[in-house]
């Protein structure tokens, strides 16, 4: 029997649970706890029930989706059909049809997971538990679920495995279509439904530096915060290495100078770092290096990431200008071998701080970075 219209007007509550962010991917649980009324021999109310998934990084790709139906109740579960559709509408998975036979269920919690060892029972009792999706066989001949769910559900064909969603973007509105295909029984999913989604995400830029070798003292990095506040104070005839650091190993990509004077001569990769060799870099400027199509070991690609870098020879204290303070700082290190504590004052990157460094800072006194 079809329920009255007044009972079909169910308000949908969307609950979003922010995904966690482990280094190599993200996971999130998303739910809509509003009850779904399974009307007799008709589409359920609401139809569809929806969940908005958001918060995953751009370029993320699904690696696993599980669905929980909370409080499934029906006198004749064989009549119930459940279809999950991704946000694009292009990927459609039949979670259950013709399952559970004529064994009534009351408030059972069903987790659908394509890695589960067993499928949903076909013509036996469904208990709370974890199962693979199933397209079962009807209790009575001729009562097979229709090949297509009622409109506005998308037409088939439908997949029977949640692995169908692997590789797609998780963000957007997921839709659950539930129907009953044979009279005279009805039911509900009293606690609504939820999605558990695991994704792999592309590399993320987490830090940057300007690297120079100081002769026998070795290389030292000037930190380049991603807010653009870093200043490279050393003179290197316009040749620097920008070190772009990501949250995981990277293995390919390209880079270019997208603002400022300078160019990229070569790019290489070492662990989590992309090493961008710069040439022709002018002094007293702000320069932006943009990395594109940076791929991690999982094959996912970060389309673009940029870092702004200041270049001002003699700005040993990272103030954005060369002043008496920089001169005094360099003088205080005169005669010292270059170390991690004083390398900014080794302006000519020779491996030790000498009168030449002091003279270079004095010569630049009064210079400022552009705004």
pTM equals: 0.70
**Residue 328: what pLDDT?**
98
pLDDT digits (tens, 9 = 90+) for 197-241: 999 989 999 999 999 999 999 999 999 999 999 999 999 999 999
For the cut 50, the answer to whether the pLDDT of residue 23 exceeds it is no
Task: Give the count of beta carbons closer than 10 Å to the beta carbon of residue 93.
Answer: 22
Q: Judge contact between 94 and 158, C-beta under 8 A.
A: yes
**Residue 142: what pLDDT?**
75
**Residue 198: what pLDDT?**
95
Structure tokens at 230: 């870093």
Phi, psi of 370 (to 5 degrees): -65, 155
pLDDT digits (tens, 9 = 90+) for 66-85: 999 999 999 999 999 999 99
Across the range 282-307, mean pLDDT stands at 94
Stretch among 47-51, 58-62, 308-312 having the lowest mean pLDDT? 58-62
Task: Give the count of beta carbons closer than 10 Å to the beta carbon of residue 370.
Answer: 10
Cα 19 from Cα 25, distance rounded (Å): 10
- Residue reference for tokens 């630049």: 364
**Residue 4: what pLDDT?**
33
Kindly list the distances between the CA atom of residue 278 and the CA atoms of 29, 191, 238, 313, in Å, as whole numbers in the listed order.
Answer: 44, 59, 8, 16
pLDDT digits (tens, 9 = 90+) for 1-12: 333 333 222 323
**DSSP 8-state assignment for residue 164:** G
Across the range 179-202, mean pLDDT stands at 95
Task: Give the count of beta carbons closer than 10 Å to the beta carbon of residue 34.
Answer: 20
**Residue 25: what pLDDT?**
55
Domains of the chain: 5-200 (2.60.120), 205-363 (2.60.40.1220)
- In the chain, helix, strand, coil percent, each to 5? 10, 40, 50
pLDDT digits (tens, 9 = 90+) for 140-159: 777 788 889 999 999 999 99
**Residue 140: what pLDDT?**
79
pLDDT digits (tens, 9 = 90+) for 155-169: 999 999 999 999 999
**Residue 208: what pLDDT?**
98
Question: Cα torsion for 94, 97, 103, 108, to the nearest 10°?
Answer: 20
Question: Cα torsion for 11, 12, 13, 16, to the nearest 10°?
Answer: -170
**Structure confidence at residue 13 as a pLDDT band (50, 70, 90):** very low
**Residue 14: what pLDDT?**
34
For the cut 60, the answer to whether the pLDDT of residue 118 exceeds it is yes
């Amino acid at each position: 029997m079809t329920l009255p219209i007044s009972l079909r007007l169910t308000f949908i509550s969307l609950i979003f649970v922010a995904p966690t962010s482990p280094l190599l991917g993200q996971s999130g649980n998303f739910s809509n706890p509003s009850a779904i009324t399974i009307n007799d021999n008709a589409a359920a109310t609401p139809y569809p029930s929806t969940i908005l998934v958001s918060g995953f990084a751009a370029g993320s790709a699904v690696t696993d989706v599980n669905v929980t139906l909370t409080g499934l109740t029906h006198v004749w579960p064989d009549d119930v059909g459940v279809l999950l559709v991704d946000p694009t509408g292009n990927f459609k998975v039949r979670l259950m049809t013709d399952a559970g036979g004529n064994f009534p269920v009351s408030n059972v919690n069903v987790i659908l997971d394509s890695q589960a060892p067993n499928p949903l029972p076909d013509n036996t009792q469904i208990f709370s538990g974890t199962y693979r999706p199933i397209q079962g066989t009807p209790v009575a001949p001729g009562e097979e679920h229709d090949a297509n769910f009622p409109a506005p559900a998308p037409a088939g064909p439908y997949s029977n495995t949640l692995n169908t969603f692997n590789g797609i973007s998780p963000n957007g509105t997921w839709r659950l279509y539930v129907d009953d295909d044979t009279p005279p029984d009805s039911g509900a999913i009293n606690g609504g439904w939820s999605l558990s989604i695991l994704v792999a995400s592309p590399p993320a830029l987490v830090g940057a530096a300007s690297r120079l070798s100081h002769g026998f003292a070795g290389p030292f990095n000037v930190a380049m915060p991603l807010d653009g506040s870093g200043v490279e104070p050393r003179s290197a005839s316009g040749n620097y290495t920008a070190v772009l650091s990501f949250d995981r190993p990277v293995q390919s990509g390209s880079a270019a100078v997208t603002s400022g004077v300078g160019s990229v001569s070569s790019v290489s990769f070492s662990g989590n770092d992309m090493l961008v060799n710069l040439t022709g870099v002018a002094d007293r400027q702000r320069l932006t290096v943009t990395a594109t199509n940076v791929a991690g070991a999982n094959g996912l690609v970060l389309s673009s990431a940029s870092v702004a870098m200041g270049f001002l020879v003699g700005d040993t204290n990272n103030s954005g200008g060369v002043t008496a303070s920089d001169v005094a700082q360099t003088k205080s290190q005169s005669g010292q071998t270059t170390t991690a504590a004083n390398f900014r004052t080794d302006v000519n990157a020779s491996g030790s701080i000498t009168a030449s460094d002091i003279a270079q800072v004095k010569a630049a006194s009064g210079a400022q970075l552009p705004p």
